[in-house]
Amino acid sequence: METLQIVPSRIIGGRSTDNAIFKSFSGVRQLGSASLSWRNRKIQSLCVKKRWYNDGRRFMCRSSSSSSAQDKEQGEGTLLGTERDSTGSVVGFNLIPHSATRGEEILESQENVANGGDELSEDIETHDKALPKITLNIVFVTSEAAPYSKTGGLGDVCGSLPIALAQRGHRVMVVSPRYLNGSPSDEKYANAVEMESQAKIFCFGGVQEVGYFHEYRAGVDWVFVDHPSYHRPGTPYGDIFGAFGDNQFRFTLLCQAACEAPLLLPLGGFTYGEKCIFLANDWHAGLVPVLLAAKYRPYGVYKDARSIVVIHNLAHQGVESAVTYKNFGLPDGWYKALEWVFPTWARTHALDPGEAVNVLKAAIVTSDRIVTVSQGYSWEITTPEGGYGLQDLLSSRKAVISGITNGIDANEWDPSSDELIPSRYSVDDLSGKVECKIALQKELGLPIRPDCPMIGFIGRLDYQKGVDIILSAIPDLMKDDVQFVMLGSGEKQYEDWMRHLESSYIDKFRAWVGFNVPISHKITAGCDILTMPSRFEPCGLNQLYAMKYGTVPVVHSTGGLRDTVLNFNPYANEGAGEGTGWAFSPLSKENLLAALRIAAGTYKDHKSSWEGLMKRGMERDSSWDKAATQYEQVFEWALIDPPYAG
């Protein structure tokens, strides 16, 4: 079993509460060696021994002649000297708390996950209190990371979870493309500095050179992969003509470059080295676990690394024709990992063999663990309804699937400090909320009526989000005394349908077609109700934002929506009520209408119940810190077993 590096939580990281202890702590670490391309890399143990200290911002190190630490009593446990890897190199310290019997607790945790996801949170909470922290090198690989790039929830998660993990003491890198599309949003990369290192990547029948830009912000190393294919108008994935035809190429480059980054880039002076946890987010990063297994481990590189695929949306899998396998830059023997054969009914014609490569499938069969963004979704993906063809594979790996509900970025989404809304408010003083509503009505040119229930929708306009169901319900809903505002961009048919409805219900309905973050904040704050009739929803963030802003969600009871929105029950708690919204099922226009009408009626006629709904939502714990502790638990489990593939 892999020995874990254990340090007391008070000592490591920006959350230190005791500087005296911090200053007295010093250690010896092995640092990864700088390297060229993997093909030329001679595996070597250039162990640079350094003494680490904290300058108040991040770890720094000084050269040290010391080769071993003295056993030492600390307030929280016994420092048992240095820890070495199989080659004898020092990799860290062991600090054992006085009371914990670590091995037993880890075994217990494993049993708990085998018994079902429900115990995950409970187990982790106990764990966090009882054990000292384990600090790790964590590498996020993602096609989006807010604020640099964002088209949806993936950007939000990869922009804030890394910060939460860094605040808990881990060394965290996020690797994402440096998209330049010629618009003012290019300025977001202004603080990222070009690094001297480049990587040569063998793929698509040639050699590509990628550069790296780096910004150290909020305790995280933000690394942007630079290549001409990321510089073009449009979104990260496409433009007005549709998805880019070379996305397989662009995201192969991202994965290859991300695997090189920990070995190559001296971030803050030192590389991350080989002992990393890679978090491969969605199909765009799905090649990472395959590369670790197929391209690196056979040469002894990354033998101590682990990979976790994080599924934000199973509907997108990165499927291309089978002949493109040769493009990935993988050894020949790994075709089976990517092989994907469409069932007969899904083939285009009688002679179509249905042979394809599927990047997300490859990630599922080669990663050490699998995380989905809610517990409900972790079960749904193992069913024919939610598995998008991968349900059998996912079921076969059920023992390593964990569902962790996303958190929200409290720096961006907090009504008491949000600069994007006209009036700030909190659970103790809700008066600003009605001012936000009036300002929104004014901005949208709707009648200014603070008493009229205002319903909102924010999201990508596609089949997943049930936009068609909302739009078909609008003519009926417009008979009621309500106002409705929709913000979204996506499929043209829905955009046109929204514009058409706006012209038909000019006094009640507003369509804002486009992607606009400030408006999304104003709608979240100004509306009374936010609806999300998603067909499936791996987690959903807008309902979490809505609850934080005292806006009551009305959602289809699926995936993360079912996990996070607790149905209103006015009779519970001796009449005080419970619940934070309405979660209806099954999904239909009639059920959506009924739920929205009940919500609007409660808003109008039961003011104290409504206030209870708002306040319970606002007080709900949606912090990233809670989710981060659950990710830490998954990291520990990943490190217990040897690498799953390679």
Ligand X SMILES: Nc1ncnc2c1ncn2[C@@H]1O[C@H](COP(=O)(O)OP(=O)(O)O[C@H]2O[C@H](CO)[C@@H](O)[C@H](O)[C@H]2O)[C@@H](O)[C@H]1O
Distances (CA, A) of 334 to 14, 41, 126, 622: 42, 22, 41, 40
Quick one: 295 or 522, whose CB is closer to ligand X?
A: 522
Site for ligand X contains 488 (CB under 6 A): yes
Which range, of 4-12, 153-161, 210-218, 585-593, touches ligand X by CB under 6 A?
A: 153-161
284 touching ligand X, by CB under 6 A: no
Residues 618/403, Cβ–Cβ less than 8 Å: no
- Helices 102-114, 624-640: crossing angle, 10 deg rounding: 100
Nearer to ligand X, 403 or 540 (CB): 540
Q: Which range, of 148-156, 237-245, 437-445, 476-484, touches ligand X by CB under 6 A?
A: 148-156
Q: Which residues pair with 612 in a beta bridge?
A: none
Per CB under 6 A, 157 contacts ligand X:
yes
520 makes contact with ligand X (CB under 6 A): yes
Q: Please list, in sequence order, all residues whose beta carbon lies within 8 angstroms of the beta carbon of residue 259, skipping any fewer than 6 positions away.
A: 278, 288, 291, 292, 295, 296, 302
Nearer to ligand X, 270 or 512 (CB): 512
Residue of 7, 292, 356, 487 interacting with ligand X (CB under 6 A): 487
Taking CB under 6 A as the criterion, the residue among 517, 572, 576, 594 binding ligand X is 517
If the CB atoms of residues 137 and 143 are measured against ligand X, the closer one turns out to be 143
Q: Exactly one of 82, 248, 313, 483 binds ligand X (CB under 6 A); which one?
A: 313
Give 155's contacts (C-beta < 8 A, 6+ positions apart). 144, 145, 146, 149
H/E element holding 63? Answer: strand 59-63
Q: How far is the CB of 434 from ligand X (least distance, A)?
A: 22
Among 117, 219, 386, 538, binds ligand X (CB under 6 A): 538
Q: Does 515 bind ligand X (CB under 6 A)?
A: yes
Segment contacting ligand X by CB under 6 A, of 56-64, 348-356, 481-489, 636-644: 481-489
Nearest CB to ligand X, comparing residues 16 and 402: 402
- Residue 70 Cα distances to 20, 27, 79, 597, angstroms: 18, 10, 8, 69
Cα 592 to Cα 369: distance, rounded to the nearest angstrom: 36
Span interacting with ligand X, options 270-278, 289-297, 483-491, 594-602, rule CB under 6 A:
483-491
For 345, which DSSP code? G
**Judged by CB under 6 A, which of 156, 221, 260, 409 binds ligand X?**
156
Smallest distance, Å, CB 152 to ligand X? 2
CB 286 within 8 A of CB 280: yes
Shorter beta-carbon distance to ligand X: residue 460 or 615: 460
**Which residue carries 């150290």 as its tokens?**
216
What's the min distance (Å) between Cβ of 235 and ligand X? 11
Q: What single-letter DSSP state applies at residue 641? A: S
Q: Least Å distance between CB 559 and ligand X?
A: 7
> From the CB of 377, what's the least distance to ligand X, in Å?
8
d(CA 567, CA 19): 46
* 67/639 Cα distance (integer angstroms): 26
Point out the residue whose Cβ comes nearest to ligand X: 152
Range list of β-strands (E), 152-226: 171-177, 193-203, 206-217, 220-226
Question: Is the CB of 182 or the CB of 518 nearer to ligand X?
Answer: 518
Is residue 553 part of the contact set for ligand X (CB under 6 A)? no
Which residue in the set 81, 152, 234, 389 belongs to the binding site for ligand X (CB under 6 A)? 152
Residue number, 83 or 156, with CB nearest to ligand X = 156
Retrieve residue 100's tokens: 């914990």
Choose which of 134, 165, 394, 539 interacts with ligand X (CB under 6 A).
Answer: 539
Cα(402)–Cα(631) distance, integer angstroms: 9
Helices (H), 115-246: 119-130, 153-167
CA dihedral 284, 289, 293, 297 (to 10 degrees): 110
Q: Which of 181, 391, 516, 609 binds ligand X (CB under 6 A)?
A: 516
Q: Do 536 and 558 form a contact (C-beta atoms < 8 A)? A: yes
- Applying the rule CB under 6 A, the residues between 330 and 369 that interact with ligand X are none
Nearest to 447 by CA among 518, 509, 512: 509
| Helix, strand, coil in percent for the chain, rounding step 5 | 35, 25, 40
Binding mask 446-475 for ligand X (x = CB under 6 A): ------------xxx---------------
Touching ligand X, residues 399-438 (CB under 6 A): 406
Residue 329 or 559 with smaller CB distance to ligand X = 559
Check binding of 312 to ligand X (CB under 6 A): yes
Q: Nearer Cβ to ligand X, position 265 or 404? A: 404
> Exactly one of 121, 197, 405, 542 binds ligand X (CB under 6 A); which one?
542
* Residues numbered 224-283 forming contacts with ligand X, rule: CB under 6 A: none
| Residue 387 three-state SS | coil
Q: Does 113 bind ligand X (CB under 6 A)?
A: no
Of 135 and 406, the one with the shorter C-beta distance to ligand X is 406
| Minimum CB distance to ligand X smaller for 18 or for 495 | 495
Structure tokens at 316: 């997108």
In whole angstroms, the minimum distance from the beta carbon of 465 to ligand X comes to 7
Q: Which stretch binds ligand X (CB under 6 A): 154-162, 188-196, 475-483, 610-618?
A: 154-162
Under 8 Å between Cβ of 380 and 386 = yes
Specify burial of residue 323 (Cβ count, 10 A radius: 0-12, 13-18, 19+). exposed
Two structure tokens written together for 190: 């202004």
Note the residues at the interface with ligand X (CB under 6 A): 152-154, 156-157, 312-313, 373, 406, 458-460, 487-489, 515-517, 520, 537-542, 560
